[in-house]
Amino acid sequence: MKSIEIFTKSDTETKKLGGILAREIMKSSYAKASEDKIATILSLEGDLGAGKTTFTQGFGKVLGIKERIQSPTFVILKIYPITTQGRYSNLIHVDAYRLKSKDFKVFGWGNFIKNKNNIILVEWGNKIKNILPKNSIRVIFKHGKNFSERKIIFENSKRGC
Ligand code: ADP
Ligand code: MG
């Protein structure tokens, strides 16, 4: 499995990295838009405070989301409309920390995945990996040696359904 490791030294750098990935995904999705039949899914994994929400903020900014993206811990799921040109019309930010895969069925998870105009970022995606599509992108966040250092690993998921 191909993976990429990147170290960041501040929350600003992690936001930038989120923005870089968003830009790359936008570029590739323009080309493949007609081939992709389902949503684009990112599984954000790692401990509390590791940077999952921070990364999502930088990611959303590049997609033109003006509203401040906050931790979805208390709302479970939040939908941000995307108005910039391109394939995606919604960024869906999910927190799976307190949930189990079966809980996702009640709010129509299947329909969110089926819509290829959705880009879905799932914090704690590892907790519901059996209901994430096989080609989801894993982004794994690890605390570094220093307070503001993080190791961020990108992997193409081969697991899921
Ligand atoms: P999570 O969503 O994984 O629980 P958050 O993104 O909410 O984590 O919180 C990360 C916290 O760590 C923030 O307070 C942020 O300012 C701080 N931080 C310090 N250094 C970094 C870094 N390199 N990358 C991301 N966040 C960092
Ligand atoms: Mg968070």
Ligand nearest to the CA of 73: 2
Give me the pLDDT at residue 30, please. 59
Contact 136 CB / ligand 1 (< 6 Å): no
Give me the pLDDT at residue 29, please. 67
Give me the pLDDT at residue 112, please. 95
Task: Evaluate whether 69 touches 60 at the Cβ level (below 8 Å).
Answer: yes
Looking from the CA of residue 47, the nearest atom of ligand 1 is 3
CA–CA dist 37, 130 (Å, integer): 19
Give me the pLDDT at residue 101, please. 87
Among residues 20, 50, 53, 40, which one has the least CA distance to residue 120? 40
Q: Which of 54, 61, 98, 152 to mutate to test the pocket of ligand 1 (most atoms within 8 A of CB)?
A: 54
Instruction: Give the 3-state secondary structure of the chain.
Output: CCEEEEEECCHHHHHHHHHHHHHHHHHHHHHHCCCCCCCEEEEEECCCCCCHHHHHHHHHHHCCCCCCCCCCCCCCEEEEECCCCCCCCEEEEEECCCCCCCHHHHCCHHHHHHCCCEEEEEECHHHHHHHCCCCCEEEEEEECCCCCCEEEEEEECCCCC
Distance 46 CA to ligand 2 centre (A): 10
What angle do the packed helices 11-32 and 52-62 form, to 10 degrees? 50
The stretches in the chain having pLDDT less than 70 are 1, 29-35, 158-161
Give me the pLDDT at residue 1, please. 62
Task: Evaluate whether 65 touches 27 at the Cβ level (below 8 Å).
Answer: no
Distance 89 CA to ligand 2 centre (A): 22
Indicate the pTM of the whole model.
0.94
Give me the pLDDT at residue 103, please. 87
Per the rule left: phi > 0, alpha: psi between -120 and 50, beta: everything else, 76 is left
